[in-house]
């Protein structure tokens, strides 16, 4: 069965890979097979991966909001937008949980010109310049010209600000040429399932640092209100009691209780 990726490419639907994605969110082997069969029997030729994702999400949501939230992590990252501002802030929060000292969105004077820098991270006597490339639509990739200009920026800033390393952080993927150049020049990449030994999703799952947008009952309006209060991680909700959350954001108490319950399930 051919399906259509977000890029427009036609590929075979890989049942094994699909089942593995379900098991990663917590389903056992039997449950993953059941969901896979349920989705596969409804597939039509060249169905889009977005349709498959949405169908899977609805099935999982009926089973458990916990499974649905974890399954939708990649899409939730895309809902941090529309601009990359909150992705930068989110990445800084993730790194801080791993004992990095972080700062974000600042202007630094280089040897030649001033640069707008996304994130600076420091740990173990190393100072890292991090440039974020955020995509709010499936299929987006970071190509060669992205890593070229990031490395050029690093060269202009490294001596003036004593940077030891440079990194590209993205919520999606990089092209083969971008990866090839980055490896050659020592530019690190942190992306979705890249590197294989520990991509961005690994650092999120390891410490349960889910973005607030992963919550299954989050409306666009509530998402905006949370942003205005600088709520970036799901665990940020646990700073509030249901009554406090209800008063601050104008929510029904029962709805606030459900949000906090889901936040606890995802982070404990």
Spatial separation of the C-alpha atoms in residues 255 and 9, rounded to whole Å:
41
Token reading at 206: 């390891």
- Residue 84 has what pLDDT? 86
Token reading at 43: 């597939």
- Residue 183 has what pLDDT? 97
Taking alpha carbons only, the member of 171, 249, 247 closest to residue 217 is 249
- Residue 65 has what pLDDT? 87
- Residue 12 has what pLDDT? 92
Q: Characterize 94-109 residue by residue with b for buried, 16 or more Cβ atoms within 10 angstroms of its Cβ, and e for exposed.
A: bbebeebebebeeebe
Tell me the three state secondary structure of residue 131: strand
Spatial separation of the C-alpha atoms in residues 142 and 177, rounded to whole Å:
10
Tell me the three state secondary structure of residue 195: coil
Strands 2-4 and 188-190: unpaired
Spatial separation of the C-alpha atoms in residues 39 and 224, rounded to whole Å:
33
Contact 148, 181 (CB under 8 A): yes
Alpha-carbon 77 to chain mean position: 4
- Residue 157 has what pLDDT? 98
Q: What is the pTM of this model?
A: 0.90
Spatial separation of the C-alpha atoms in residues 92 and 103, rounded to whole Å:
7
DSSP bridge partners of 129: 120, 166
Per-residue pLDDT of 48-94, as tens digits, reads: 999 999 999 999 999 898 899 999 999 999 988 778 889 999 999 99
Query: What kind and span of H or E run contains 173?
Result: strand 173-174
Spatial separation of the C-alpha atoms in residues 202 and 193, rounded to whole Å:
8
Spatial separation of the C-alpha atoms in residues 78 and 69, rounded to whole Å:
14
- Residue ranges in the chain modelled with pLDDT below 70: none
Contacts of 8 (CB under 8 A, 6+ apart): 139
Token reading at 57: 């999400």
Report the Cα–Cα distance between both ends of the chain, in Å, rounded.
39
């Amino acid at each position: 069965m051919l399906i259509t990726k977000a890029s427009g490419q036609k590929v075979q639907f890989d049942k094994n890979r699909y089942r593995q994605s379900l098991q990663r969110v917590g389903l056992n082997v039997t449950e993953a097979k059941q969901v896979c069969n349920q989705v596969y029997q409804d597939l039509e030729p060249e169905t889009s991966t977005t349709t498959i994702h949405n169908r899977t999400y609805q099935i999982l949501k009926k089973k458990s909001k916990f499974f649905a939230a974890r399954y939708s992590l990649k899409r939730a990252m895309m809902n941090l937008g529309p601009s990359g501002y909150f992705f930068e802030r989110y990445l800084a929060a993730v790194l801080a949980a791993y004992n990095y000292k972080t700062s974000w969105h600042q202007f630094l004077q280089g040897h030649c010109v001033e640069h707008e820098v996304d994130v600076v991270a420091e740990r173990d006597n190393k100072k890292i310049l991090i440039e974020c490339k955020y995509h709010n639509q499936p299929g987006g990739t970071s190509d060669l010209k992205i890593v070229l200009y990031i490395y050029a920026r690093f060269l202009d800033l490294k001596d003036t600000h004593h940077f030891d390393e440079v990194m590209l952080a993205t919520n999606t993927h990089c092209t083969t040429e971008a990866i090839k150049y980055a490896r050659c020049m020592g530019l690190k990449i942190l992306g979705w399932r890249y590197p294989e030994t520990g991509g961005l999703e690994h650092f999120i799952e390891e410490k349960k640092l889910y973005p607030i947008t992963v919550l299954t009952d989050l409306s666009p309006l509530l998402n905006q209100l949370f942003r205005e209060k600088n709520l970036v991680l799901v665990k940020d909700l646990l700073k509030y009691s249901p009554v406090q959350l209800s008063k601050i954001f104008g929510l029904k108490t029962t709805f606030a209780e459900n949000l906090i319950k889901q936040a606890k399930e995802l982070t404990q």
